[in-house]
Structure 1
């Protein structure tokens, strides 16, 4: 049976924390930034955790099971 490959974009996007949670970057920070407020762009800089609803899908992309 062939090896199961990790999703290439997922391994560049998501990081697993020490406690096993999965970090993700915030969305809406790539283009059309002139119309967005400075405060909004500043808050989009950080990262947050993947929600419980999407956790199984992200784990499957990263082959963590």
Structure 2
């Protein structure tokens, strides 16, 4: 049986923590930043846990 391939788009977007949670970056900090407050940009810069509804799909794409 052939090996499963990791989805290359998913490996760029998600990371798995040591405890097995899947993390993602937040949206809204890539461009049009000059009118956003520093507080908002700082809050958006941190990673968040992937929503429970999407965990199964993300794990499949990551080959886990």
TM-score where L is the length of structure 2: 0.86
Which deviations, in whole Å up to 9, do the C-alpha atoms of 1:8-53 show, x marking residues without a partner? 1211221111111111111111011112111100101111111101
Q: CA RMSD in A?
A: 1.3
TM-score where L is the length of structure 1: 0.85
Gap regions ≥5 residues in structure 1: none
Aligned pairs, number: 64
Gap regions ≥5 residues in structure 2: none
